[in-house]
C-alpha cells in the first residue's frame, strides 16, 4: 500500500518506520519542516537505524509538502503529538486531505485527540467529492519501547464504521499479529474511549501501589515483599505493580485529564480519576520529603540525582518527578549535581523556564554518573536507566560526603547497603535506617 504518515513526534516516525519495514511504500510528512534523521528532537532506541535502512531500501521517504505527499496515498495516518491544539490540528489535516487528495483515501486518526474528534474529522472528510473514510487507531506506543509496541502489539484497536476501510486497515496491520489475531474492530467511539480507559487503568494501578507503599513506609513493612505477595495472585499479576516516584510524560496525565473532563461534561463526578491524579502529585514529592526527614534543613546541602527523564530510554522530561525534585531542592536552598544518559539538555530547558531560581551554580549537569557524586550529601535515584542498575557502591561511598542513598525506584538491595554502612531508603520499604 502507499501510505503517508503526518506528524513531527516520535509516534509518527515509529509508525512510518514500522509500516515501511513490512513492505509498504511510506512517506513521512513532517509538519514542522524536514529534519535530518540524526537531528530528530527525541530519543527512541533503534528508530534512527530503522528509518535509515528503509530509506536506503526506497520504501520510505520524507517530506514537508503536505499537498504532494497526500495526493495518491491509499492511507493517511495522522499521528500528532500531545498538545493543547491537537484536536484542531487533526481536524485541519482531515480537511487538507480532502482538499489535496485526487482519489479516495482512508484517514487514520492515531493522535491523542479528545472524544468525538474522529467523528468531527469524518464530517470534514465527508464534504469532499471523494470517499474519505476515517478510522480511529490508538497507537499505544510507550516512549523508549515504541518500536517493540508497534511491531509486537498486545492488541490492535480499530474504530471503523466503513466496511471497506475496515478491511483495508485489517489487511495492512495483520502482519503485526500473525502469530495470534490481536486485531479488535469496534466503533469509533469505542476505540477512542478504549485509549483513554487504558491510560486510566494503568495510572490507577500505579497510584494505588504508591499509596500502599506510603502505608508500608509508615507501618514498617517492606512493599517489595507485599508486591511479590499480591502479584502472585493471578487476578492481579505483576505488571505496573512497582512503586516509585510517580508517573510522568504527557500521555497518562493528559489522558486522565481528558477523561475526567469528559465525565464532568456528562454530569458524572470523576472521583477516582481525580484521586489517581492527586496521589501521583503527592508521590512526586516523596524524594524531597525523604531527604527533608533525613537532614532536617536542606539549606547548603548538595544532592546528586541519577535520572532526569520521566522513564528510561527517552530524553523526555515532561511531568518528570526529577524536575519536581530539583525545583523543591532549589527552593529549600540546596544545590544539585545531576546526570542522565539522554535528558540533560531537555532538563536544562525545563529548569531555565522556571526563572531566576535556576543557575549553573545551583544545578550542575555532569558528564558522568559518578561525577555527580563528588561532595554530595546524598544520592537520589529517580529514573531506572540500565547504567544505574549495578553501580560500584564502594566508589559511591567514597565520593559522597554522607553515605545516603534515596532509591526512588527500589532498584537496590536494602539489607546489603545497610550492612555496608549506607543510610538507605526506598519507596515503601519501612523506616530510614
Q: Are 421 and 430 in contact (CB under 8 A)?
A: no
CA torsion sign for 252, 254, 260, 262 is: negative
Q: Are 76 and 28 in contact (CB under 8 A)?
A: no
DSSP track, 271-313: HHHHHHHHHHHHHTTHHHHHHHHHHS--TT-EEEEE--SSSTT
Q: Are 3 and 74 in contact (CB under 8 A)?
A: yes
Give which of 151, 10, 132 is closest to 80, Cα–Cα. 10
Of the candidates 18, 27, 136, 251, the residue annotated as catalytic is 251
Q: Are 228 and 410 in contact (CB under 8 A)?
A: no
Q: Which residues contact 321 (CB under 8 A, 6 or more apart)?
A: 245, 246, 248, 283, 284, 287, 310, 382, 408
Mode of pairing for the β-strands spanning 302-306 and 335-339: parallel
Cα gap 185→340, rounded to integer Å: 41
Q: Is 129 exposed, middle or buried (0-12, 13-18, 19+ CB in 10 A)?
A: exposed
CA torsion sign for 250, 251, 254, 256 is: negative
Q: Are 69 and 29 in contact (CB under 8 A)?
A: yes
Give which of 129, 138, 85 is closest to 110, Cα–Cα. 138
β-pair partners for 378: 303
Per-residue CA distances from 359 to 37, 340, 347 (Å): 32, 18, 13
Give which of 287, 313, 299 is closest to 379, Cα–Cα. 287
Cα gap 210→280, rounded to integer Å: 8
Q: Are 303 and 337 in contact (CB under 8 A)?
A: yes
Q: Which helix (H) or strand (E) holds 315?
A: none
- Is residue 251 part of the annotated active site? The answer reads yes
Which set of grid coordinates corresponds to residue 193? 474511549
**Catalytically active residues, by annotation:** 251
Amino acid at each position: 500500500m502507499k501510505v503517508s504518515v503526518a506528524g513531527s513526534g516520535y509516534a509518527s516516525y515509529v509508525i512510518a518506520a514500522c509500516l515501511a519495514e513490512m513492505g509498504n511504500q511510506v512517506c513521512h510528512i513532517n509538519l514542522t519542516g524536514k529534519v535530518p534523521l540524526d537531528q530528530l528532537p527525541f530519543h527512541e532506541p533503534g528508530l534512527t537505524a530503522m528509518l535509515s535502512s528503509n530509506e536506503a531500501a526506497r520504501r520510505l521517504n520524507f517530506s514537508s509538502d503536505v499537498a504532494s505527499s497526500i495526493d495518491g496515498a491509499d492511507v493517511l495516518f495522522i499521528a500528532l503529538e500531545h498538545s493543547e491544539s491537537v484536536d484542531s490540528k487533526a481536524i485541519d489535516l482531515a480537511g487538507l486531505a480532502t482538499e489535496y487528495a485526487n482519489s479516495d483515501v482512508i484517514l487514520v486518526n492515531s493522535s491523542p485527540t479528545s472524544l468525538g474528534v474522529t467523528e468531527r474529522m469524518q464530517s470534514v472528510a465527508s464534504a469532499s467529492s471523494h470517499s474519505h473514510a476515517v478510522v480511529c487507531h490508538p497507537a499505544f506506543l510507550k516512549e523508549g519501547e515504541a518500536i517493540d509496541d508497534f511491531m509486537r502489539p498486545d492488541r490492535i484497536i480499530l474504530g471503523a464504521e466503513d466496511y471497506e476501510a475496515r478491511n483495508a486497515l485489517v489487511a495492512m496491520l495483520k502482519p503485526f499479529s500473525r502469530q495470534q489475531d490481536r486485531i479488535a474492530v469496534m466503533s469509533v467511539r469505542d476505540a477512542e474511549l478504549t485509549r483513554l480507559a487504558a491510560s486510566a487503568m494503568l495510572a490507577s494501578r500505579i497510584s494505588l501501589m504508591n499509596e500502599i507503599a506510603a502505608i508500608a513506609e509508615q507501618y514498617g513493612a517492606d512493599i517489595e515483599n507485599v508486591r511479590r505477595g499480591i502479584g502472585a495472585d493471578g487476578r492481579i499479576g505483576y505488571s505496573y505493580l512497582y512503586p516509585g516516584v510517580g508517573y510522568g510524560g504527557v500521555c497518562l496525565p493528559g489522558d486522565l485529564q481528558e477523561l475526567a473532563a469528559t465525565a464532568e461534561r456528562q454530569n458524572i463526578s470523576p472521583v477516582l480519576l481525580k484521586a489517581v491524579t492527586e496521589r501521583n502529585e503527592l508521590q512526586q514529592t516523596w524524594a524531597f520529603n525523604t531527604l527533608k526527614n533525613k537532614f532536617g534543613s536542606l539549606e547548603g546541602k548538595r544532592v546528586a540525582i541519577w535520572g532526569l527523564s520521566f522513564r528510561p530510554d527517552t530524553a523526555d522530561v515532561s511531568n518528570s518527578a526529577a524536575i519536581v525534585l530539583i525545583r523543591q531542592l532549589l527552593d529549600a536552598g540546596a544545590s544539585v549535581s545531576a546526570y542522565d544518559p539522554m535528558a540533560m539538555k531537555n532538563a536544562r530547558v525545563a529548569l531555565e523556564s522556571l526563572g531566576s531560581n535556576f543557575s549553573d551554580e545551583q544545578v550542575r549537569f555532569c558528564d558522568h554518573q559518578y561525577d555527580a557524586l563528588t561532595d554530595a550529601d546524598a544520592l537520589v535515584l529517580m529514573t531506572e536507566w540500565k547504567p544505574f542498575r549495578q553501580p560500584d557502591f564502594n566508589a559511591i561511598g567514597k565520593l559522597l560526603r554522607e553515605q545516603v542513598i534515596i532509591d526512588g525506584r527500589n532498584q537496590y538491595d536494602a539489607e546489603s547497603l545497610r550492612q555496608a554502612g549506607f543510610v538507605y531508603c526506598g519507596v515503601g520499604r519501612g523506616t530510614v535506617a
